[in-house]
Each structure stands twice: as structure tokens, then as C-alpha cells.
Amino acid sequence: MSANEQSMRRVTAIRNGTVIDHVPGGMSLTVLKMLGIGGVMSNPVSLLMNVPSKKLVSKDIIKVEDRELNQNELDRLALVAPDASISIIRAYSVAEKLTINLSEEITNVARCSFSNCITSNSREPLPHRLLIVARDPLEIRCHYCGKLQEINDLVERLI
Amino acid sequence: MPGLITMEDLTNEEIISILDDAERLLPIACGERYLPLLRGRILGNLFFEPSTRTRMSFETAMKRLGGDVINLGDVKNSSVVKGETLYDTIQMIDGYSDIIAMRHPRQGAAQYAADACKVPILNGGDGAGHHPTQTMLDLFTIRQAHGTLENLRVVLAGDLRYGRTVHSLSHALVRFGCKVIFASPKSLSMPTEIIADIVNQGGDVEETEDLLSEINQADVIYMTRIQKERFPDEDEYLKVADAYKLHARDLDDAKSEMIIMHPLPRVEEIHPSVDKTRYARYFEQAFNGVVTRMSLMCWLLGVGVPEDVIAASEVIG
């Protein structure tokens, strides 16, 4: 049995829902926060953290029962888990495989981290726009003030 | 409508074309001739923080071209103190004017305003961000002195961290193949993302703390004011500020065609003894704000400047 299969079997298979694999180790709680999952009224969620991975040094796996995440929701994860792979599960089988698309702009996912940016006034109504100006390594700038953004700072400023 | 938010909004060809138009408009800017190219147009002057030269030169530029101006006035007496958002203020001025000149203490405010309204925005300074209309008048002044913008050696000196004029200018200069030398104390050095941008553009830049040793090779020395409030105490300020002051006696070995510029206001960084030398250009530079802003407003409003301005205009008086 491969390490991946071992990891997957640490928790029981789900009947219907979404499995998010290859989340960088330790980032799954952030992913859940970004997807708005995990509150009192949430669907059942299984979480594996810091399991060995060939692709990443360590990875997290998230299984959300009875909820199929859509592409828009998943694309929000590009900031923290750009290489995650997603399986939509129906009747215990993989019905669909999705990947995360890093688009040219991330809108209303996180606030600019620069304290003097015009968007730091929470009453200003225009969307929070972050531009992907380079992909490898990932380089993100605020559309308005042009300041380079650190991923860790953005994670602290999720909307 | 985007307007002019950063120098990235203009190609090199557009910059040259706007400067050419500005040059033809000089007799109008001087008040020698009258040419109402912008008659019936209204400029909304939205200055959320103090400005003398930028606000007044925008106003003069619009009036010299036959247009009119409305002013936000003192921010303390406006709806801003009641908590009005920039978005709401812009919506209102958008309806009152054909073009807006804006200065705001927050970085990114000009882009935000441009996204929020239909008329063109001219960024007159947003926090420590950009000040492209100042850059255009700086380029005009440099071209006036040297006949070209290409391959010059330009020293930018003083407060390069918080001085927004030097941010926009350095971007523009490297696009014309200029060598740019950043002369500043370490604590006020050019922000890393701006240096990274310039290097990515293929720009040739150097950093130094020694302004005086750069004088003899420079084609342009661009001075900026070092502000006391950037330093923890007066002694620290005095130690640093002394190294970034120019006196006429420092210029003995300068090239004959070298020019000294400053966005003004100056405090002590250029000694009055420099004013009478052939190198001083800062007062002409301030005047050039009128003519370049005339040209920019024509360009953004789609109004062509006649090839023969003298024939198209009338003598005043």
C-alpha cells in the first residue's frame, strides 16, 4: 500500500462530497476558513494534517461531506494551495476532478496588507483587487496602491 | 475612465507627443496669447491634502485654455470630515466636472477614483505612491535643457523613500535609457519594489550615500527635501541632512550644461547661492507645471493642440 493510500485511509471514505488533496502541510485550517467551512452549522469535515507527500514535503487532506465545492470557491484557494487537487465524490466514487486556477486577478478574497492603502478604509465600497504579476515565484500586487504582498500577510487579511 | 494614474499609463511616444504639444503651448501658458481650447470644460480640483504648486498650476492651466475650475476647498470644511467615503465624493465631482485633478494622503487613491468614475483622473499625488503630472513637467524641463531625454546621467538625491516625485520620475527616466543614481541616506533609500521594477525594465541604476562625488559627471541633479519628522531626533536629522545640501561652491567641477532641479518647496537642501548659477532650474521647473498640465488636459479630453498655435491664437492686451 502506497503512502498516499495509507494517508487516504486514515479516515473513512465519504459517500458524497469533496476531497481536497495536496494542501501544503499545516494550511488546511486556513483553507477551511477561506471556504467558510467549519462553523457550528458546518457539514461533517475530516482532516488529515502533515502526512508525508512526494509532491510536497508534507500535506494536508480535507474531506467535506455532502457538499460539492464549485470552481469559483476553489479558485479562492490559489493563494495558499495552488497545487491542490480536488475530487468531487458521488456514491463513494470520484465523479469529477478539478484543479485550482490561478487567474490574473483575485477579487474580494483578501485585503491589501499596506496600512496606508486606500482600501484600508473598510467603508470604501469598491472590491479588494489583487493582481498576479508573476507566477513563479508567485508575485502579487494590490491593484490600487501597487504594493507587493506577502502571502502570509494576505492569509491574515482574508475577507 | 483611467486618466493618468502612473507613468505606466503613457507610452514613450505619447510622452514625447504630450511634451511637443506643451512646447507649442508655451506662449499661452506665459499669458502672451489666448487660445480657448478647453472653453466650456470644467476641472474638478480635489486636493485632500495641502498643495500650492500642483493645485494652482492645474487651475492656471485650465483657465489659460478658457476652461473653468471648481475646488473642493479646505478638507476641514467638506463632507470628508463627516466621514464621506472617497467613492461618494468622487461620484459627486464626477457629475460636476469633465476632468478631475486629485491629491490624496492614501496610496492607491487615484486608481480607486479612476475605477469609481467616468471622467479622467489626473493623479496629483497619492500618499507615497505616484505623481505623474510632476514627472511630465520634470521631463519637460530636462528636455528643454538638454534637447533630449535619452541617455542622460541623472542623480536623484535626498528623501527617496517617501518622496513620490522621485518614484514616478525614476521609472520614466530608465525608459529613455537614462542612467539613474539614487543618492540618499540608508534610512531614506529608494523602496525595494521600485528598484526591483526598474531593474526588471532593464534600467541602469546605482545607489550611493555620497552626493558630492556624483556632481561632476551628472547631467541632472534632482534634489528633494529631507523632512525632520522622518528622524527619531534633531541630532540624527542634522547629521544626515548636512550631507544632502548643495552650495554654489560644490558646483565648481560640474558639467557646463548640468541642471539642478527640485520639486519645491525647498528648505535648506539648496543654498540660495545656487539660485544665481547657470545650473539652477527649479523655478522654471515650477512654471513648466502649467504648460505640461495644459497639454495633459487637452490630451485626456481628446482636444488636439494646433500645429501652429500662434496662427490659431490671439494676442492678449
How far is the first Cα of chain A from the last one, in angstroms, to the nearest whole number? 41
Do A126 and B129 make contact, defined as CB atoms within 8 angstroms?
no
Query: Does B311 have pLDDT greater than 60?
Result: yes
Rounded to a whole number of angstroms, the distance from the CA of A100 to the nearest CA of chain B is: 28
Q: Which of A119, A123, A148 sits opposite B108 (nearest CB)?
A: A119
pLDDT digits (tens, 9 = 90+) for A61-110: 999 999 998 888 888 888 888 889 999 999 999 999 998 888 899 899 89
Span A109-129, pLDDT tens digits: 899 999 999 999 999 999 999
Q: Tell me: the pLDDT tens digits for B236-274? A: 788 778 778 999 999 999 999 999 999 998 988 999 999
Mean pLDDT lowest for which of B59-63, B80-84, B228-232?
A: B228-232
CB distance A125–B126 less than 8 Å?
A: no
DSSP B297-311: HHHHTTPPPPS-HHH
Count A/B contacts: CB-CB distance under 8 Å: 60
pTM attached to this predicted model: 0.87
Question: Sign of torsion, CA A120 B162 B289 B297?
Answer: negative
> From CA A53, how far away is CA A57, in angstroms rounded?
6
Nearest C-alpha in A relative to B130: A145
- Among A117, A125, A146, beta carbon nearest to B87: A125
pLDDT value at residue A5 = 60
**Which pLDDT does position B147 carry in this prediction?**
97
Interface test with B, best of A118, A126, A130, A142 (most B CBs within 10 A): A118
Q: Which residues of B217-230 are buried (b: 16+ CB within 10 A; e: fewer)?
A: ebbbbbbbbbeeee
Percent of chain B with pLDDT over 70: 99
Average pLDDT over chain B reads 93
Chain B closest CA to A73's CA: distance in Å? Answer: 25
Question: By CA distance, what is A149's nearest residue in B?
Answer: B193
pLDDT at B49 over 60: yes
| Chain B environment of A143 (Cβ under 8 Å) | 108, 111
Domains and CATH numbers, chain A: 3-99 (3.30.70.140), 105-156 (2.30.30.20)
The secondary structure of chain A, three-state, reads: CCHHHHHHHCCCCCCCEEEEEEEECCCHHHHHHHHCCCCCCCCCEEEEEEEECCCCCEEEEEEEECCCCCHHHHHHHHHCCCCCEEEEEECCEEEEEEECCCCCEEECCECCCCCCEHHHCCCCCCCCEEEEEEECCEEEEECCCCCEECHHHHHHCEC
Compare all CA atoms of chain B with the CA of A124 and give the residue at the minimum distance. B85
- Delineate the domains of chain B, giving CATH numbers in brackets: 7-130+289-315 (3.40.50.1370), 133-284 (3.40.50.1370)
Contacts with B108 from chain A: Cβ below 8 Å: 112, 117-119, 142-146
* A75 CB-contact burial (10 Å; exposed 0-12 / middle 13-18 / buried 19+): middle
CA distances to A47, A64, A81, A101, B269 from A95, rounded to whole Å, are 21, 15, 22, 19, 71
Q: Do A118 and B83 touch (CB under 8 A)?
A: no
CA nearest to B114 within chain A: A144
**A108-to-A27, A39, A111 alpha-carbon distances in Å:** 20, 21, 7
Over residues B23-40, the pLDDT tens digits come to 999 999 999 999 999 999
pLDDT digits (tens, 9 = 90+) for B128-185: 889 999 999 999 999 999 999 999 999 999 999 888 889 889 999 999 999 999 999 8
Touching A: B residues 104-133, CB under 8 Å = 104-109, 111-112, 115-116, 126-130
For the beta sheet containing A138-142, the strands, ordered from the edge strand earlier in sequence to the opposite edge, are A105-107, A129-135, A138-142, A148-149
C-alpha distance across the termini of chain B, in Å: 39
